[in-house]
Structure 1
């Protein structure tokens, strides 16, 4: 057991109130976009949805000590502006004291467990807007998969709209991550064609009674200028699991030139790069900004 894990377990057992104290004492970020005007947010909310695999290792993200070590390395790198995670991970990072000056986003709906029969029914089992505000975080993120062949999509849209409203009422960013999805041989697959991504954007952009605090978290696909022209909302580009690092970095660089794009939200491809060099992968991503 690592020293970090020993410290966290001891604190959680002996002084669970330390989480609230750490949140109250945290130095908040001056801007979500950092000093350079571009966001570089590290995502680590995958385990709560049962998505622990990276490459050929099905349990890569399940080792909490290693994940925290990688997150701490990433958050120490110049140009990294923030982090996205579930309550357990963000509270670990608060207790480790590594979130000063960073923007922090809580992951809200993790109930659509990867590979489950109810995957589209993405219940809000994580952060809520009141807790995000109470901890002094900057916003919340919601995965919004739109499956026209699944009746559960209606409640997904309704619940995401409610979360957008509750965040906007508190002047917090609602980071909406939309996909047009479908069931294929018992699995949920996201349609990454430009037309499908455009349709998902136009649906997601209209969720809630206000859009003033809504940002979109979008995949990089073909024909990004046309895709991004479908909304005037601020956009953060997601990373996903990257098979070809060179192609991914080239695609991010090209998409970052579009006027609505404000930065990157990347997780596994930077925390678990094929090279094994977390700092190097993060620095390279930051250089694109």
Structure 2
């Protein structure tokens, strides 16, 4: 039986067991496929209350629209999989679009956007045992470090234990570190070379082993600094996207920054979300195909 997006509410209400059954029979694939690179679409923003895209404050709140965009992205050649929280992954699973895809569970979503406790980023999403039980392929955590906010220490300690828990199960964990600070009450990530270098050094040393740790990193403000920044660690790296902004010149500059960074030896691919799912110009398919072409 083919499930469509309008079918999901009734299916969830009447047959909740369908989720576990679908996870059990899902066809899997290796993390790194024959192409040797990873292209993952990220959609874990809503669970942290981060719903805005550009000047649209609730762009990601329409679940049917988000799922349609994700289905298009996952159907494009060269897209390896998706990163999301349980609710989004289960919708995609029931729609049948996760077969032979890399599925990454988002682990800490407690640092709600704009909250006073934002940097005390509790693990409210997938746990290591959930990722193992559901036969997901990897996990991801967010680590923002503000030297003036004690909540960052709680997050850092929890992140280290997650590294241990995932490694004990021989499951890859993608750590997304930032050095951050509050500006006018809002958390801002520092993308200078020095700050990203410190974040790499800190994240690489988390836990009792780094054998299964990957880094999910931004391109620095000056992309020419990336080679030196990535020399801080031998851990495998994927680049994160972030919002690109509007205008062909702005988009072209962003793609060129990604292209240059993708040439570096530790970089294994990309994990990109809103800039592909909600492109400032063109369609989702066009944005995804352009990003895949960079690999």
> What TM bracket, shorter-length normalisation?
over 0.9
* 1:174 corresponds to: 173
Query: Which residues of 2 match residues 258-277 of structure 1 at below 5 A?
Result: 258-277=264-283
Question: Aligned partners of 2:24 and 2:219: how far apart in 1?
Answer: 36
Is the Cα–Cα contact under 8 Å of residues 239 and 265 in structure 1 kept in the other structure?
Answer: yes
Question: Aligned partners of 1:97 and 1:43: how far apart in 2?
Answer: 18
Deviation at 1:76, TM superposition (A): 0.3
Question: Aligned partners of 2:111 and 2:156: how far apart in 1?
Answer: 14
Question: Aligned partners of 1:236 and 1:100: how far apart in 2?
Answer: 22
Query: Which residues of 2 match residues 246-257 of structure 1 at below 5 A?
Result: 246-257=252-263
Aligned to 1:279, which of 276, 285, 288?
285
* SS of aligned partner of 1:10: helix
Deviation at 1:35, TM superposition (A): 2.2
* 1:9 corresponds to: 9
Residue correspondences, number: 286
* 2:189 corresponds to: 190
Deviation at 1:276, TM superposition (A): 3.9
Is the Cα–Cα contact under 8 Å of residues 34 and 79 in structure 1 kept in the other structure?
Answer: no
Deviation at 1:248, TM superposition (A): 1.1
Query: Which residues of 2 match residues 190-209 of structure 1 at below 5 A?
Result: 190-209=189-208
Superposition TM-score, scaled by structure 1 size: 0.97
* 2:211 corresponds to: 212
Deviation at 1:140, TM superposition (A): 0.8
Residue ranges of structure 1 left out of the alignment (5+ in a row): none
* 1:138 corresponds to: 137
Is the Cα–Cα contact under 8 Å of residues 32 and 82 in structure 1 kept in the other structure?
Answer: no
Show CA shifts across 1:45-85 (max 9, x none).
00011111111111111000000000000000010001000
Q: Stretches of 4+ moved more than 3 A in 1?
A: none
Deviation at 1:13, TM superposition (A): 0.7
* SS of aligned partner of 1:42: strand
Show CA shifts across 1:79-107 (max 9, x none).
00010000000010111110011111000
Question: Aligned partners of 1:40 and 1:233: how far apart in 2?
Answer: 18
Question: Aligned partners of 2:7 and 2:44: how far apart in 1?
Answer: 22
* 1:158 corresponds to: 157
* 2:231 corresponds to: 229
Question: Aligned partners of 2:91 and 2:32: how far apart in 1?
Answer: 23
* 1:87 corresponds to: 86
Is the Cα–Cα contact under 8 Å of residues 108 and 128 in structure 1 kept in the other structure?
Answer: yes
Question: Aligned partners of 1:279 and 1:156: how far apart in 2?
Answer: 36
* SS of aligned partner of 1:66: helix
Superposition TM-score, scaled by structure 2 size: 0.95
| Aligned-residue RMSD, C-alpha | 0.9
